[in-house]
Amino acid sequence: MSTFGDNIVQPLPLALTMGEPAGIGGEVALKAWLAREQSNVPPFFLIDDIDRLTALAAKLDWPVKLSTIPTPEEAIAHFGTALPVLSRPLSSRPIPGTPDPANAPAVISAIDEAVKLVTMGAAAAVVTNPIHKLTLTQAGFPHNGHTEYLAELAGGGARAVMMLACDSLRVVPLSVHVGLRDSIAAVTEEAIIEIVTITAAALTRDFGITNPHIVVAGLNPHAGEGGTMGCEDLEIVTPAVEKLKKTGLSVRGPAPSDTLFHERARDGYDAAVCMYHDQALIPVKTIDFYSSVNITLGLPFVRTSPDHGTAFEIAGTGIADERSLVAALKSAASIARRRQAHGPAVVSGRA
Protein backbone atom coordinates (compact mmCIF):
# COMPACT_ATOMS: atom_id res chain seq x y z
CA MET A 1 0.00 0.00 0.00
CA SER A 2 1.38 3.38 -0.92
CA THR A 3 -0.09 6.61 0.38
CA PHE A 4 2.04 9.16 -1.40
CA GLY A 5 3.60 7.51 -4.44
CA ASP A 6 1.86 8.81 -7.53
CA ASN A 7 4.29 11.56 -8.71
CA ILE A 8 1.44 13.87 -9.72
CA VAL A 9 2.19 17.17 -11.41
CA GLN A 10 0.42 19.80 -9.29
CA PRO A 11 -0.90 22.77 -11.29
CA LEU A 12 -1.44 25.12 -8.31
CA PRO A 13 0.85 25.87 -5.35
CA LEU A 14 0.05 24.64 -1.86
CA ALA A 15 -0.69 27.12 0.93
CA LEU A 16 1.44 26.41 4.02
CA THR A 17 0.51 28.21 7.25
CA MET A 18 3.02 29.54 9.79
CA GLY A 19 1.80 27.51 12.76
CA GLU A 20 3.09 28.52 16.19
CA PRO A 21 5.94 31.00 15.54
CA ALA A 22 7.84 29.89 18.66
CA GLY A 23 7.83 26.27 17.50
CA ILE A 24 9.58 24.37 14.73
CA GLY A 25 7.19 25.26 11.89
CA GLY A 26 9.50 27.84 10.34
CA GLU A 27 12.49 25.51 10.51
CA VAL A 28 10.79 22.53 8.87
CA ALA A 29 9.37 24.85 6.18
CA LEU A 30 12.86 26.13 5.37
CA LYS A 31 14.19 22.56 5.36
CA ALA A 32 11.37 21.36 3.11
CA TRP A 33 12.25 24.05 0.57
CA LEU A 34 15.94 23.12 0.74
CA ALA A 35 14.91 19.49 0.05
CA ARG A 36 12.65 20.46 -2.88
CA GLU A 37 14.70 18.73 -5.58
CA GLN A 38 16.01 15.75 -3.65
CA SER A 39 12.59 14.93 -2.17
CA ASN A 40 10.45 16.05 -5.13
CA VAL A 41 8.57 18.57 -2.99
CA PRO A 42 5.61 20.16 -4.82
CA PRO A 43 5.57 23.98 -5.08
CA PHE A 44 4.25 25.73 -2.00
CA PHE A 45 4.18 29.21 -0.49
CA LEU A 46 4.34 30.09 3.17
CA ILE A 47 1.95 32.48 4.92
CA ASP A 48 4.32 33.92 7.51
CA ASP A 49 6.39 36.92 8.59
CA ILE A 50 9.28 37.11 6.12
CA ASP A 51 11.41 39.08 8.59
CA ARG A 52 11.28 36.31 11.18
CA LEU A 53 12.02 33.69 8.48
CA THR A 54 14.98 35.70 7.23
CA ALA A 55 16.35 36.00 10.76
CA LEU A 56 15.80 32.29 11.39
CA ALA A 57 17.61 31.25 8.21
CA ALA A 58 20.50 33.58 9.06
CA LYS A 59 20.73 32.28 12.63
CA LEU A 60 20.92 28.70 11.40
CA ASP A 61 23.24 29.62 8.52
CA TRP A 62 21.00 27.94 5.97
CA PRO A 63 21.23 28.98 2.28
CA VAL A 64 17.55 29.79 1.92
CA LYS A 65 16.59 32.62 -0.38
CA LEU A 66 13.20 34.11 0.50
CA SER A 67 10.94 35.99 -1.88
CA THR A 68 7.92 38.09 -0.95
CA ILE A 69 5.09 37.40 -3.38
CA PRO A 70 2.01 39.62 -3.78
CA THR A 71 -0.31 36.76 -4.76
CA PRO A 72 -0.20 32.95 -4.75
CA GLU A 73 -0.06 32.96 -8.54
CA GLU A 74 3.57 34.13 -8.28
CA ALA A 75 4.64 31.15 -6.15
CA ILE A 76 5.42 28.57 -8.82
CA ALA A 77 7.60 30.98 -10.81
CA HIS A 78 9.68 31.73 -7.69
CA PHE A 79 9.76 28.29 -6.07
CA GLY A 80 12.77 26.91 -7.93
CA THR A 81 15.08 29.67 -6.74
CA ALA A 82 13.44 31.12 -3.61
CA LEU A 83 10.90 30.17 -0.96
CA PRO A 84 7.78 32.23 -1.78
CA VAL A 85 6.24 34.02 1.20
CA LEU A 86 2.95 35.86 1.56
CA SER A 87 4.35 38.04 4.31
CA ARG A 88 2.07 38.68 7.27
CA PRO A 89 3.81 40.55 10.13
CA LEU A 90 3.71 39.24 13.69
CA SER A 91 2.81 41.43 16.63
CA SER A 92 5.69 40.19 18.77
CA ARG A 93 9.16 38.91 17.86
CA PRO A 94 9.04 35.14 18.48
CA ILE A 95 11.39 33.58 21.02
CA PRO A 96 12.00 29.90 20.18
CA GLY A 97 10.36 27.69 22.76
CA THR A 98 8.38 30.52 24.36
CA PRO A 99 4.94 31.03 22.81
CA ASP A 100 3.37 34.47 23.02
CA PRO A 101 -0.44 34.88 22.93
CA ALA A 102 0.13 38.25 21.22
CA ASN A 103 0.93 36.30 18.03
CA ALA A 104 -2.18 34.12 18.23
CA PRO A 105 -4.26 36.37 15.92
CA ALA A 106 -1.62 36.05 13.18
CA VAL A 107 -1.55 32.26 13.59
CA ILE A 108 -5.33 32.05 13.24
CA SER A 109 -5.38 34.56 10.39
CA ALA A 110 -2.89 32.44 8.42
CA ILE A 111 -5.26 29.48 8.65
CA ASP A 112 -8.20 31.65 7.59
CA GLU A 113 -6.28 33.04 4.62
CA ALA A 114 -5.06 29.63 3.47
CA VAL A 115 -8.60 28.24 3.47
CA LYS A 116 -9.89 31.30 1.63
CA LEU A 117 -7.19 31.02 -1.04
CA VAL A 118 -7.93 27.35 -1.62
CA THR A 119 -11.68 27.95 -1.68
CA MET A 120 -11.33 30.68 -4.31
CA GLY A 121 -9.06 28.52 -6.46
CA ALA A 122 -5.77 30.37 -5.91
CA ALA A 123 -4.10 27.43 -4.14
CA ALA A 124 -4.47 23.68 -4.41
CA ALA A 125 -4.61 22.70 -0.74
CA VAL A 126 -4.08 23.83 2.83
CA VAL A 127 -1.05 22.46 4.67
CA THR A 128 -0.85 23.56 8.30
CA ASN A 129 2.21 23.79 10.50
CA PRO A 130 1.60 22.78 14.14
CA ILE A 131 -0.21 25.19 16.45
CA HIS A 132 -0.01 25.42 20.24
CA LYS A 133 -3.54 24.91 21.50
CA LEU A 134 -2.97 26.33 24.99
CA THR A 135 -1.54 29.59 23.64
CA LEU A 136 -4.49 30.01 21.26
CA THR A 137 -6.93 29.19 24.06
CA GLN A 138 -5.32 31.85 26.24
CA ALA A 139 -5.94 34.31 23.41
CA GLY A 140 -9.63 33.38 23.25
CA PHE A 141 -9.60 30.71 20.53
CA PRO A 142 -12.67 28.53 21.28
CA HIS A 143 -11.66 25.36 19.42
CA ASN A 144 -9.69 22.32 20.58
CA GLY A 145 -7.51 22.23 17.48
CA HIS A 146 -7.16 22.56 13.72
CA THR A 147 -9.67 19.84 12.89
CA GLU A 148 -12.59 21.44 14.72
CA TYR A 149 -11.76 24.92 13.45
CA LEU A 150 -11.48 23.79 9.84
CA ALA A 151 -14.95 22.24 10.06
CA GLU A 152 -16.29 25.63 11.14
CA LEU A 153 -14.51 27.40 8.30
CA ALA A 154 -15.89 24.89 5.81
CA GLY A 155 -19.45 25.71 6.88
CA GLY A 156 -22.51 23.83 5.71
CA GLY A 157 -22.40 21.40 8.63
CA ALA A 158 -19.17 19.81 7.40
CA ARG A 159 -17.96 16.88 9.50
CA ALA A 160 -14.17 17.03 9.74
CA VAL A 161 -12.58 13.65 10.36
CA MET A 162 -8.91 13.17 11.25
CA MET A 163 -6.89 10.50 9.49
CA LEU A 164 -3.26 9.73 10.32
CA ALA A 165 -1.43 8.02 7.49
CA CYS A 166 1.94 6.62 6.56
CA ASP A 167 2.93 4.28 3.74
CA SER A 168 1.85 1.15 5.64
CA LEU A 169 -1.07 2.28 7.80
CA ARG A 170 -4.08 4.61 7.81
CA VAL A 171 -6.01 5.17 11.05
CA VAL A 172 -9.06 7.26 11.87
CA PRO A 173 -10.02 7.97 15.52
CA LEU A 174 -13.72 8.19 16.30
CA SER A 175 -13.07 11.13 18.64
CA VAL A 176 -10.10 13.48 18.66
CA HIS A 177 -9.27 16.15 21.22
CA VAL A 178 -11.39 15.05 24.18
CA GLY A 179 -10.57 13.28 27.42
CA LEU A 180 -10.71 9.49 27.62
CA ARG A 181 -13.93 9.46 29.66
CA ASP A 182 -15.68 11.65 27.08
CA SER A 183 -14.25 9.62 24.19
CA ILE A 184 -15.87 6.46 25.57
CA ALA A 185 -19.20 8.26 25.78
CA ALA A 186 -18.75 9.30 22.13
CA VAL A 187 -18.79 5.68 20.94
CA THR A 188 -22.27 5.42 19.41
CA GLU A 189 -23.73 3.55 16.45
CA GLU A 190 -24.39 6.83 14.66
CA ALA A 191 -20.82 8.05 15.14
CA ILE A 192 -19.29 4.78 13.91
CA ILE A 193 -21.53 4.71 10.83
CA GLU A 194 -20.75 8.35 10.05
CA ILE A 195 -16.97 8.02 10.44
CA VAL A 196 -16.71 4.76 8.50
CA THR A 197 -18.82 6.15 5.65
CA ILE A 198 -16.73 9.31 5.37
CA THR A 199 -13.54 7.24 5.54
CA ALA A 200 -14.70 4.88 2.79
CA ALA A 201 -15.61 7.79 0.51
CA ALA A 202 -12.22 9.43 1.10
CA LEU A 203 -10.31 6.21 0.43
CA THR A 204 -11.98 6.00 -2.97
CA ARG A 205 -11.81 9.66 -3.99
CA ASP A 206 -8.61 10.82 -2.29
CA PHE A 207 -6.53 7.63 -2.40
CA GLY A 208 -7.84 5.92 -5.54
CA ILE A 209 -8.98 2.71 -3.81
CA THR A 210 -12.02 1.45 -5.69
CA ASN A 211 -13.32 -1.03 -3.11
CA PRO A 212 -11.78 -0.08 0.24
CA HIS A 213 -11.84 -2.49 3.16
CA ILE A 214 -12.16 -0.94 6.61
CA VAL A 215 -11.64 -2.62 9.96
CA VAL A 216 -13.31 -1.21 13.08
CA ALA A 217 -11.35 -1.62 16.31
CA GLY A 218 -13.04 -2.76 19.47
CA LEU A 219 -13.35 -0.39 22.40
CA ASN A 220 -12.56 -2.83 25.20
CA PRO A 221 -9.66 -5.28 25.67
CA HIS A 222 -10.07 -8.21 23.25
CA ALA A 223 -13.11 -6.38 21.81
CA GLY A 224 -14.99 -7.11 25.02
CA GLU A 225 -14.35 -10.88 25.07
CA GLY A 226 -18.01 -11.68 24.47
CA GLY A 227 -19.21 -9.14 27.00
CA THR A 228 -16.99 -10.25 29.88
CA MET A 229 -14.83 -7.12 29.53
CA GLY A 230 -17.55 -4.62 28.74
CA CYS A 231 -20.69 -4.69 26.62
CA GLU A 232 -20.04 -1.74 24.29
CA ASP A 233 -18.54 -3.89 21.54
CA LEU A 234 -21.54 -6.23 21.52
CA GLU A 235 -24.20 -3.58 21.96
CA ILE A 236 -22.80 -0.64 19.94
CA VAL A 237 -19.89 -1.54 17.67
CA THR A 238 -21.22 -4.81 16.28
CA PRO A 239 -24.67 -3.43 15.31
CA ALA A 240 -23.01 -0.45 13.61
CA VAL A 241 -20.75 -2.73 11.58
CA GLU A 242 -23.70 -4.89 10.53
CA LYS A 243 -25.64 -1.83 9.38
CA LEU A 244 -22.62 -0.64 7.40
CA LYS A 245 -22.32 -4.02 5.68
CA LYS A 246 -25.92 -3.71 4.53
CA THR A 247 -25.03 -0.48 2.71
CA GLY A 248 -22.54 -2.40 0.58
CA LEU A 249 -19.36 -1.30 2.33
CA SER A 250 -16.56 -3.78 2.97
CA VAL A 251 -16.14 -3.50 6.72
CA ARG A 252 -15.47 -5.83 9.63
CA GLY A 253 -15.19 -5.59 13.39
CA PRO A 254 -15.02 -5.08 16.25
CA ALA A 255 -11.42 -6.30 16.06
CA PRO A 256 -9.16 -6.55 19.13
CA SER A 257 -6.80 -3.58 18.88
CA ASP A 258 -3.85 -5.42 20.44
CA THR A 259 -3.52 -7.64 17.33
CA LEU A 260 -4.66 -5.15 14.74
CA PHE A 261 -1.48 -3.29 13.86
CA HIS A 262 1.30 -5.81 13.32
CA GLU A 263 2.67 -6.15 9.79
CA ARG A 264 0.59 -9.11 8.61
CA ALA A 265 -2.62 -7.71 10.09
CA ARG A 266 -2.12 -4.38 8.30
CA ASP A 267 -2.16 -6.17 4.94
CA GLY A 268 -5.81 -7.05 5.53
CA TYR A 269 -7.37 -3.59 5.43
CA ASP A 270 -7.03 -0.13 3.87
CA ALA A 271 -7.86 1.84 7.01
CA ALA A 272 -8.65 1.17 10.65
CA VAL A 273 -11.35 3.17 12.43
CA CYS A 274 -10.39 3.35 16.10
CA MET A 275 -12.50 4.14 19.12
CA TYR A 276 -10.35 6.90 20.62
CA HIS A 277 -7.35 9.15 19.95
CA ASP A 278 -4.42 7.17 21.36
CA GLN A 279 -5.68 3.82 20.07
CA ALA A 280 -5.20 5.26 16.58
CA LEU A 281 -2.17 7.53 16.98
CA ILE A 282 0.15 5.28 18.97
CA PRO A 283 0.49 2.60 16.26
CA VAL A 284 0.95 4.98 13.32
CA LYS A 285 3.52 7.10 15.17
CA THR A 286 5.35 3.99 16.33
CA ILE A 287 5.51 2.57 12.81
CA ASP A 288 6.61 5.78 11.07
CA PHE A 289 7.03 8.69 13.46
CA TYR A 290 9.02 10.86 11.05
CA SER A 291 6.90 10.58 7.90
CA SER A 292 3.30 10.12 9.03
CA VAL A 293 0.76 12.73 7.98
CA ASN A 294 -2.42 14.21 9.44
CA ILE A 295 -5.12 14.36 6.75
CA THR A 296 -8.54 15.92 7.33
CA LEU A 297 -11.35 14.01 5.64
CA GLY A 298 -14.88 15.25 5.03
CA LEU A 299 -14.05 18.83 4.03
CA PRO A 300 -14.73 20.55 0.68
CA PHE A 301 -11.04 21.50 0.52
CA VAL A 302 -7.84 19.49 1.00
CA ARG A 303 -5.95 19.86 4.27
CA THR A 304 -2.92 17.98 5.53
CA SER A 305 -0.42 18.60 8.30
CA PRO A 306 2.76 17.06 9.67
CA ASP A 307 1.97 14.55 12.37
CA HIS A 308 3.92 16.22 15.16
CA GLY A 309 3.65 19.17 17.49
CA THR A 310 5.49 22.42 18.03
CA ALA A 311 8.51 20.74 19.68
CA PHE A 312 9.38 23.79 21.81
CA GLU A 313 12.27 21.91 23.43
CA ILE A 314 14.24 21.91 20.14
CA ALA A 315 12.85 25.06 18.49
CA GLY A 316 15.54 27.31 17.07
CA THR A 317 18.23 24.63 17.09
CA GLY A 318 17.84 23.51 13.48
CA ILE A 319 17.61 19.82 14.34
CA ALA A 320 13.87 19.45 13.68
CA ASP A 321 13.12 16.76 11.10
CA GLU A 322 11.27 17.98 8.00
CA ARG A 323 10.17 14.58 6.67
CA SER A 324 6.64 14.72 8.04
CA LEU A 325 6.07 18.15 6.49
CA VAL A 326 7.50 16.96 3.17
CA ALA A 327 5.13 13.98 3.30
CA ALA A 328 2.23 16.31 4.15
CA LEU A 329 3.02 18.55 1.17
CA LYS A 330 3.29 15.59 -1.20
CA SER A 331 0.10 14.03 0.16
CA ALA A 332 -1.80 17.31 -0.22
CA ALA A 333 -0.70 17.62 -3.84
CA SER A 334 -1.72 14.05 -4.57
CA ILE A 335 -5.16 14.37 -3.00
CA ALA A 336 -5.81 17.72 -4.66
CA ARG A 337 -5.06 16.20 -8.05
CA ARG A 338 -7.41 13.31 -7.45
CA ARG A 339 -10.17 15.62 -6.25
CA GLN A 340 -9.85 17.58 -9.47
CA ALA A 341 -10.55 14.33 -11.29
CA HIS A 342 -13.44 13.18 -9.08
CA GLY A 343 -15.19 16.46 -8.27
CA PRO A 344 -15.83 18.33 -5.01
CA ALA A 345 -18.62 16.21 -3.49
CA VAL A 346 -18.29 15.52 0.24
CA VAL A 347 -20.10 12.55 1.79
CA SER A 348 -21.62 13.39 5.16
CA GLY A 349 -21.91 9.79 6.30
CA ARG A 350 -24.87 10.38 8.59
CA ALA A 351 -27.21 7.43 8.96
What's 226's DSSP letter? G
Domain stop point among 287, 305, 336: 287
Residue 191's domain spans which residues? Answer: 168-287
**Is there a single domain that holds both residue 205 and residue 133?**
no
Each residue's pLDDT tens digit, 322-340 = 999 999 999 999 999 998 8
> What CATH number does residue 314 fall under?
3.40.718.10
Q: What is the pLDDT of residue 176?
A: 86
Please say if the pLDDT value at position 5 is more than 80. Answer: no
> Strand (E) positions, the chain?
14-17, 44-48, 66-68, 83-87, 126-127, 161-166, 169-173, 213-217, 250-255, 271-274, 293-297, 303-306
Q: How far is CA 285 from CA 3, 41, 187, 253, 281, in A?
A: 15, 22, 23, 23, 6
Return d(Cα 335, Cα 272) in angstroms, integer.
Answer: 19
Is residue 247 very low, low, confident or very high in pLDDT (cuts 50, 70, 90)? very high
Is residue 3 very low, low, confident or very high in pLDDT (cuts 50, 70, 90)? very low
Q: What is the pLDDT of residue 1?
A: 38
Domains of the chain: total: 2
- Residue 95's SS3 state is strand
Each residue's pLDDT tens digit, 266-285 = 999 999 999 999 999 999 99
| Averaged pLDDT of the chain | 91
**Is there a single domain that holds both residue 79 and residue 226?**
no
Q: What is the pTM of this model?
A: 0.89
Residue 254's nearest CA partner among 221, 217, 228 is: 217
Tally of residues, the chain = 351
351 belongs to a structural domain: no
32 belongs to a structural domain: yes
Please say if the pLDDT value at position 7 is more than 60. Answer: no
Q: Exposed/middle/buried for 264, CB within 10 Å: 0-12, 13-18, 19+?
A: exposed
What's 312's DSSP letter? G
Other Cβ atoms less than 10 A from the Cβ of 152: the count is: 11
Q: Exposed/middle/buried for 307, CB within 10 Å: 0-12, 13-18, 19+?
A: buried
Q: What is the mean pLDDT of residues 35-49?
A: 96
Is residue 9 very low, low, confident or very high in pLDDT (cuts 50, 70, 90)? very low
Is residue 343 very low, low, confident or very high in pLDDT (cuts 50, 70, 90)? low
Q: What is the mean pLDDT of residues 117-126?
A: 96
Please say if the pLDDT value at position 350 is more than 70. Answer: no
**Is there a single domain that holds both residue 84 and residue 140?**
yes
Is the bond leading into 254 cis (omega within 30 degrees of zero)? yes
